[in-house]
Chain A
């Protein structure tokens, strides 16, 4: 059974801090790893990673994948209160399970002013 584990489960920081969120996975027939930000209800897409060692960057957020060690990290620099959310990691399977996402339990990030 595919499995995704995120750590830490929750994190409280102050504005301006840098945070690192972790995601480890076990999946049969790996295709990609995705990061989502969930505020209130609907998760919104952040990154899709398919290749090891290539950093994806969007503003203050960046992410990298290590397919040998089966993990990914999401970095947020100079955090702002608007970064407070649940960050979800998901792995996508290929083959006959094409498109199926298995999510981790999420990391709750709280950024205080």
Chain B
């Protein structure tokens, strides 16, 4: 079974620029998560989708972050405009929530904002 795919793996941008990350979950996994992991910290949930609906986005900074999962499969996370403190690894995870909430993580995208 193919794992969670993410791209790009690395991104360097200037502050105030925009950036987008892409995630393709494991086939058949209805639930998709985006996490932000700042160096030295554990991952923090930004947004959770169940199919193409948002379940939890309480920790998403909505003034600059947005995410969508239009067809209930792959998802994009956007930051516009980026700030220095957005430098982090952005992890995507998916789970077959109806069976188990074991979450499978993608390799992540390391974002550096200069």
Contacts and interface: CB of A to CB of B under 8 A. Distances in A.
Nearest to A41: B108
B18 to A, nearest CB: 23
Interface residues of B, number: 26
Q: Which residue, of A44, A88, A90, A101, has the highest number of chain B Cβ atoms within 10 A?
A: A101
Interface of A: 4, 31-32, 34, 36, 41-45, 48, 88, 90, 92, 97-106
A42 B104 CA distance: 9
B72 interface: no
B45 A100 contact: yes
Interface of B: 4, 31, 33, 40-45, 48, 55-56, 89, 91, 95, 97, 100-108, 110
User: Which applies to chain A's interface (DSSP): helix, strand, loop or mixed?
Assistant: strand
B2 to A, nearest CB: 14
B42 A100 contact: no
Contacts of B33: 99, 101
Given A99-B97, A100-B56, A45 B42 contact: no
Nearest to B4: A42
A99 B43 CA distance: 14
A101 B107 CA distance: 18
Most buried by A among B40, B95, B103: B103
Contact of A99 (B41, B42, B55, B104): B55
Contact of B42 (A31, A41, A98, A103): A103
Contacts of A44: 105
